[in-house]
Structure 1
């Protein structure tokens, strides 16, 4: 497994951590030069992460697993996307939604999740064709 030493802010100091590199099978729209990312946990509960570019650590996307916020969210990932990840077991796919934090409300893009194969560490953002999933679903934590 490939790892990279990345710097992460911890309060007022920067801490070096080793994180597995996630290789994009296809670049995210608008970011063709960014093919390698690391996933940095932002809170102890594991609810928020920074999907951070290895090429430019200032490029990060706030992401979260959908289950705590959208327990019924079950995107159908097509076989072509799974093949691009070299996926052998669809149950080994990590799904993350991209979050937009706002002053009034925080939303998640349920139409275009990022999927990561847990074994190959290959990822891609998929657009759920034919889905009526919202691009800006209001996030509320479900317990």
Structure 2
């Protein structure tokens, strides 16, 4: 059993940062402060990025349906995301399933889908198969993988719906 001195010394290096903000620096977005309360925690990470668990949602520009999901622990990594209901006509998200997985009320969740924007924006797609479900109360999220025929990983977005608002 460690002595009191060893225990105190071991814990001295683990001070809690009392600051309500966190400084983030990224080549794409520059240097800025975010509120710690705005951090979205994804305990299992995103598919392909299990080690990255803390994100912040950044606006693309006012009125745009697009946002950025920036990895706080690797700020050079950001995903273009959007609310699928704003881009896909008739999309019926599986809110009950998503809420059950997060153990929350369906009214307390938001859905984001990852957007792929190639050089030719008319070929833009969204991943309806693996939406990110965010509990707006707790700021915890989870990427769920759906096995539904109407939710492909590369749903082509109709450019005319997006062009005026991007």
If the length of structure 2 is used for normalisation, what is the TM-score?
Answer: 0.72
Given that residues 112 and 128 in structure 1 are in contact (C-alpha distance below 8 angstroms), is that contact kept between their aligned partners in structure 2?
yes
Asked if 1:100 is matched to 2:129, the reply is no
Structure-2 residue corresponding to 1:124: 142
If the length of structure 1 is used for normalisation, what is the TM-score?
Answer: 0.82
Q: CA deviation at 1:136?
A: 0.9
Cα deviation 1:35-88 (Å, max 9, x = unaligned): 110001111114111101111001111101112211311221454x5355342x
Structure 1: runs of 5 or more not aligned: none
Q: CA deviation at 1:133?
A: 1.3
Structure-2 residue corresponding to 1:82: 99
Q: CA deviation at 1:32?
A: 1.5
Distance 1:3 1:138, change over 3 A: farther
Given that residues 25 and 84 in structure 1 are in contact (C-alpha distance below 8 angstroms), is that contact kept between their aligned partners in structure 2?
no
Q: CA deviation at 1:15?
A: 4.5
Given that residues 86 and 120 in structure 1 are in contact (C-alpha distance below 8 angstroms), is that contact kept between their aligned partners in structure 2?
no
Given that residues 25 and 85 in structure 1 are in contact (C-alpha distance below 8 angstroms), is that contact kept between their aligned partners in structure 2?
no
Asked if 1:5 is matched to 2:23, the reply is yes
> CA separation in 2, counterparts of 1:83 and 1:133?
19
Given that residues 3 and 21 in structure 1 are in contact (C-alpha distance below 8 angstroms), is that contact kept between their aligned partners in structure 2?
no
Higher relative contact order (CA 8 A, sep 6+): 1
Given that residues 55 and 69 in structure 2 are in contact (C-alpha distance below 8 angstroms), is that contact kept between their aligned partners in structure 1?
yes
Distance 1:107 1:50, change over 3 A: same
Aligned length: 138
The higher radius of gyration belongs to 2
Q: CA deviation at 1:130?
A: 3.6
Instruction: Kindly report the root-mean-square deviation, in angstroms, between the aligned alpha carbons of the 2 structures.
Output: 2.4
